């Protein structure tokens, strides 16, 4: 990870945000990640216009089990390529977490995060220390720093880059 401190406006989502809500089945045929953000949260009630309203640098905050459901990586790309630098959640589903790591996309486990961050708050997150500051309310909380192997994969920018570095391919 090159950048370790992110500051931005929070979009707060609830628990069990599934992969169909993040990125629907209908658009699975798309393979260019640049095309994916326009469909982000199209099926999420009240967030249908997310793609038009999100700004580069905004931070996504969610409750428990974010990304449950399908193995589709589109659900990672749709947020990453929308310019969201990090997703913070109470917890992530296993495949979503793995897909994020393998694509060099920073995610942070922070139990209780939705108790201290509301929609629209300005927050700052330090990926190295796990510290999260709510700049709007002054509240602070902590997330779990990323584990070693995951950190190494992410530091290369993702699994493919990591493998190339390991095998000597360029």
Partner 1 sequence: MGKTFAEKALGRAAGHEVTANDVVTVEPDFCMSHDNAAPISKIFKKIGVDKVWDPDHLVFILDHAVPAPSDKHAQNHKDVREFVAEQGIRHFYDVMSDGGVCHQVMCEAGYALPGTIIVGSDSHTCTYGAFGAFSTGIGRSEMAATWATGKIWFKVPESMKVNVTGSFPKGVASKDLILKLIGDIGADGADYMSAEFHGPGIEQMSLAERMTITNMGIEMGGKNAACPPDQKVMDFVRDIAKTDNWEPLWADDDAVYTKELSYNLNDLVPGLAKPHTVDNWGPIDEMKGETIHQAFLGSCTNARIEDLRGAAEILKGHKVAVRTIVIPASWAVYRQAMKEGLMDIFLDAGCVITNPGCGPCMGNHEGILAPGEVCISTANRNFKGRMGNKESFIYLASPLTVAASALKGEFADPREV
Q: Are 126 and 113 in contact (CB under 8 A)?
A: no
The DSSP bridge pattern shows strands 122-126 and 131-134 to be antiparallel
93 in contact with partner 1 (CB under 8 A): yes
The one segment of 2-10, 91-99, 127-135, 137-145 that binds partner 1 by CB under 8 A: 91-99
Compute the distance between CA of residue 151 and CA of residue 111 in angstroms, rounded to an integer: 20
Q: Hey, which residues between 45 and 64 contact partner 1 (CB under 8 A)?
A: 45, 64
80 in contact with partner 1 (CB under 8 A): no
Cα-Cα-Cα-Cα dihedral of 159, 160, 161, 165, to 10°? Answer: 90
Name the residue nearer to partner 1 (CB basis): 66 or 121. Answer: 66
Q: Are 39 and 23 in contact (CB under 8 A)?
A: yes
Alpha helices (H) in the chain, listed in sequence order: 19-22, 50-53, 74-80, 94-102, 113-116, 148-155, 159-167
Least separation in angstroms between residue 34's CB and partner 1 is: 15
114 in contact with partner 1 (CB under 8 A): no
Size of the site for partner 1 (CB under 8 A): 40
Q: Are 85 and 99 in contact (CB under 8 A)?
A: no
The one segment of 22-30, 79-87, 116-124, 138-146 that binds partner 1 by CB under 8 A: 22-30
Chain residues binding partner 1 by CB under 8 A are 16, 18-21, 24-26, 28-29, 31, 43, 45, 64-65, 68-73, 76, 91, 93-95, 98-99, 102-103, 147, 149, 158-160, 163-164, 167, 169-170
């Amino acid at each position: 990870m090159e950048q370790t401190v992110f500051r931005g406006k929070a979009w707060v989502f609830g628990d069990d945000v599934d992969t169909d809500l993040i990125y629907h089945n209908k658009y699975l045929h798309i393979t260019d990640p640049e095309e994916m953000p326009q469909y982000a949260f199209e099926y999420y009630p009240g967030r249908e216009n997310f793609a038009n309203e999100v700004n580069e640098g905004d931070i996504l905050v969610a409750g428990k089990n974010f990304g449950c459901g399908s193995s589709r990586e589109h659900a990672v790309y749709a947020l990453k390529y929308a310019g969201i630098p990090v997703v913070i959640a109470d917890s992530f589903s296993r495949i979503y977490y793995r897909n994020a790591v393998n694509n060099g996309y920073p995610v942070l486990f922070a139990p209780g995060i939705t108790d201290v961050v509301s929609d629209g708050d300005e927050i700052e997150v330090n990926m190295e220390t796990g510290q999260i500051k709510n700049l709007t309310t002054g509240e602070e909380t902590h997330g779990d720093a990323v584990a070693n192997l995951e950190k190494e994969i992410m530091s290369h920018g993702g699994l493919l880059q990591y493998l190339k570095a390991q095998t000597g391919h360029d």
